[in-house]
A and B are shown apart, each in its own frame.
Chain A
């Protein structure tokens, strides 16, 4: 049988692999004395229960809100500063090494002192999210401006295009995919930043759900929380990817 766009053999292997994992997990989890890894038959009811009683959904919304506020700030700052650094040579020479070092450094190490400067409330959490998402957006924006083809700019200039016309019709279309890629990666980091903030900085929302389940050794609930975090990450990244592709439709071809 042939379904257009779907490789049947491929799909069968994938389903078989998933089924095998779940069977093995169910078998292992049901062993007497097995406590730390409960089987799927206990995890999924716990997941449904946590969603139905509203706790998990509300927690996720709270976490995503922190992420969204921080991401918006990081996006504005990151794109702006990226454009400046890419266009001003002395800013590039002096700031790029610092930005690269900060991009590679673990932001989490600031968690114990961030409260001193922002307080431990909402501001603190948002600040952490901004720090998580900011650098990847900046670096991608900068890379985008840098790869604009010099010959296209030259051609536009020789046809007496104004600076604004060059920016609008030459620079922007070729920089945009890079900025959007940076923003998409920034979304992923913002979600991680929000979860870190709610686990380590001020225990709340999803962080509270996970910690409470772990502290009471309610393993099905803990696994359900992790599973939900995964689904949430998947949904958010899918949505970000969808927005990215949609915004690039005018290019006539998919970048990914």
Chain B
């Protein structure tokens, strides 16, 4: 246990007083994490033991739940969901970037598209579920469609914001030094838009997962169907394990995008906080 490790190190620091050493150790980030997360795990375990597995699985039950996921073949179901998620997300990126460039880059583009994007932004996408199911069925197209509706918006809006953010004085300066149109785009507009683009892609990825989960919960298929079944049968250990995996898929994907971002745009990485922006 992590608490025990902290204690034993306290005992080893014989020269200083026990409290002083603990105080010094407490300054380390990972010691703090070990202690606080350890407390959370212990509390979780205790609560689970008291309330029983039909109410709240313990920490160890949840870990064993991962093993049961493998044995029961649930991972195959989840992989299929992930594949549909990635198709929808890829579509959102491929379509979202050019639309965002048009929306943010030209006044007429904004006049034609701006109010639709705004309407899309304020509509709760969940309300589209009963319509999408009639339009697209319950299979592949429906799931990809929902994921697209959830995530493309954020790519579009962030790319558009980036286009509007390109500094006019920089462009003026480049022009007055005789830069060609192509040079202005490649050397000035692009470097300033790409960090926004990555912020949009990262945000869009998070919403793609949200869309996927709700799409499958709605039709009780794939991972969503699995979750609903497990909840009904009160197999909460597997349920918690799946929930943790979904959260992990979110965190992992987002850090992959962040790593890409750091390699491609070292000047902008980290400058962009991933937060929702106003559409127009």
Chain A positions near chain B (C-beta within 8 angstroms): 7, 9-11, 13-14, 17-18, 21, 36-37, 90, 93-95, 97, 100-102, 104-113, 116, 136, 139-140, 143, 185, 188, 191-192, 195-196, 199-200, 206, 210-211, 213-215, 217, 219, 222-223, 225-226, 229-230, 233-234, 237, 256
Nearest CB in chain A to that of B136: its residue: A36
* 18 A-B contact pairs sorted by A residue (CB < 8 Å): A7-B107, A10-B108, A18-B115, A90-B36, A93-B33, A105-B209, A106-B210, A106-B213, A196-B126, A196-B214, A199-B127, A199-B218, A214-B130, A215-B130, A222-B130, A222-B131, A225-B127, A234-B122
Complexed CA–CA distance, A11 and B108 (Å): 10
Task: Evaluate contact between B111 and A195: CB separation under 8 angstroms.
Answer: no
Q: Are A14 and B111 in contact (CB under 8 A)?
A: yes
Inter-subunit contact A199/B275 (CB<8 Å): no
Contacts of A101 in B (CB 8 A): 247, 250-251
Provide the B40-65 mask, 1 if CB < 8 A to any CB of A, else 0.
Answer: 00000000000000010000000000
Residues of B within 8 A of A109 (CB): 213, 217, 227, 242-243, 246
Residues on A with beta carbons closer than 8 Å to the beta carbon of B213: 106, 108-109
The CB with the most chain A CB atoms within 10 A, among B37, B126, B133, B135, is that of B126
Residues of B within 8 A of A104 (CB): 206, 209, 247, 250-251, 254
* Interface residue from B29, B37, B134 paired with A219 (Cβ < 8 Å): B134
Q: Which residues of B contact A93 (CB under 8 A)?
A: 29, 32-33
Chain B 191-218 residues near chain A, CB threshold 8 A: 206, 209-210, 212-214, 217-218
Give the CA-CA distance A158 to B217 in the complex, in Å: 58
| B 246-279 contacts with A by CB, 8 A | 246-247, 250-251, 254, 273, 275-276, 278
B26/A90 in contact, CB under 8 A: yes
* Chain A residue with the shortest CB-CB distance to B107: A10
Partner of A94, one of B37, B122, B210, B242: B37
Tell me which residues across on chain A come within 8 A of B125, comparing CB atoms. 192
Report whether over half of chain A's contact residues are helix, strand or loop; otherwise say mixed: helix
Asked if B91 CB lies within 8 Å of chain A CBs, one says no
Give 20 A-B pairs besides A37-B135, A101-B251 with Cβ atoms closer than 8 angstroms: A10-B107, A17-B112, A90-B26, A101-B247, A112-B227, A112-B228, A112-B231, A113-B239, A143-B273, A192-B126, A196-B214, A210-B127, A210-B129, A214-B130, A217-B134, A222-B130, A230-B119, A233-B123, A233-B124, A234-B122
CA gap between A214 and B219 in the complex, in Å: 13
Interface residues of B in 64-117 (CB under 8 A from A): 107-108, 111-116
Cα of A140 to Cα of B275 in the assembled complex, Å: 9
How many Å lie between the Cα of A196 and that of B125 in the bound state? Answer: 10
Determine how close the nearest CB of chain B comes to the CB of A92; give it in whole angstroms.
9
Chain B residues within an 8 Å CB radius of A107: 210
Contact check: which of B124, B130, B218, B246 meets A213 at CB < 8 Å?
Answer: B130
A223 — nearest CB in chain B belongs to which residue?
A: B131
Q: Known: A104-B254, A199-B126, A214-B134. Is A256-B278 also a contact (CB below 8 A)?
A: yes
Residues in B whose Cβ lies below 8 Å from that of A17: 111-113, 115
**Most chain A CB neighbours (cut-off 10 Å) among B125, B218, B231:** B231
**Which chain A residues border B134 with CB–CB below 8 Å?**
36, 214, 217, 219, 222
For chain B, the count of residues having a C-beta within 8 Å of the partner chain is 57
Interface check B236, CB cutoff 8 A: yes
Docked complex Cα distance between A82 and B4 (Å): 30
The answer to whether B128 has its CB under 8 Å from any CB of chain A is yes
Among residues of A, the one whose C-beta sits closest to the C-beta of B111 is: A13
Asked whether B209 lies within 8 Å of A214 as measured between CB atoms, the reply is no
B242 to chain A, nearest CB (A): 8
Contacts of A100 in B (CB 8 A): 251
A104 to B242, CA, bound (A): 16
With most chain A CB atoms within 10 A of its CB, the pick from B107, B131, B209, B276 is B131
- Which of A11, A113, A223 gathers the greatest number of chain B CB atoms within 10 Å? A113
With a CB–CB cut-off of 8 A, which chain A residues contact B37? 94
Task: Pick the contact of A206: B127, B206, B209, B231 (CB < 8 A).
Answer: B127
In the assembled complex, which residues on chain B have CB atoms less than 8 Å from the CB atom of A116?
A: 55, 231
Chain B min CB distance to A173 (Å): 21
Residues of A within 8 A of B276 (CB): 136, 185, 188
With CB as the reference atom, state the residue of chain A lying closest to B118.
A234
Q: Contacts A36-B134, A104-B206, A106-B214 given: A90-B254 contact, CB under 8 Å?
A: no
How far, in whole Å, are A210 and B210 apart by their CA atoms in the complex? Answer: 20
Q: Across the interface, do A200 and B217 meet the contact criterion of CB distance under 8 Å? A: yes
Q: Are B243 and A211 in contact (CB under 8 A)?
A: no
B135 adjacent to A36 (CB under 8 Å): yes
- Complex CA gap A51/B37 in Å reads 51
Contacts of B231 in A (CB 8 A): 112-113, 116
